[in-house]
Amino acid sequence: MNFLYCENCGKKSGYKRLFGWGTFFAVIVTCGFWLIALPFYPLRCMTCGNDSYRRESELTDAERNLDRELNKLGEKMRKSRKL
Ligand SMILES: [Zn+2]
């Protein structure tokens, strides 16, 4: 799984390729040749299904700071829940 910046969610999110029954049948119909196409499936946001994303290196400084702040906040919340 990849963690990439989702523009729809406005935060970093888990991205992976989604294979459904359509993919499964495509593999059967093509006698397995469809497996070659699987790596070319777009990565999709696991939260919203959006398939556009930006890598961390493409983020602006402001977005990176915001992400850092959100992570810090999340960390604080996790800690306070444990106490
Ligand atoms: Zn998303």
- pTM comes to 0.60
75: CA distance to ligand 1 center in Å?
21
13: CA distance to ligand 1 center in Å?
6
Residue range 57-68: average pLDDT?
Answer: 84
pLDDT classification of 83: cutoffs 50, 70, 90: low
72: CA distance to ligand 1 center in Å?
20
Residue range 7-36: average pLDDT?
Answer: 93
Please count the helices (runs of H) and the strands (runs of E) in the chain.
2, 4
3: CA distance to ligand 1 center in Å?
11
25: CA distance to ligand 1 center in Å?
27
Output the CA angle 52-49-9, nearest 5 degrees: 70
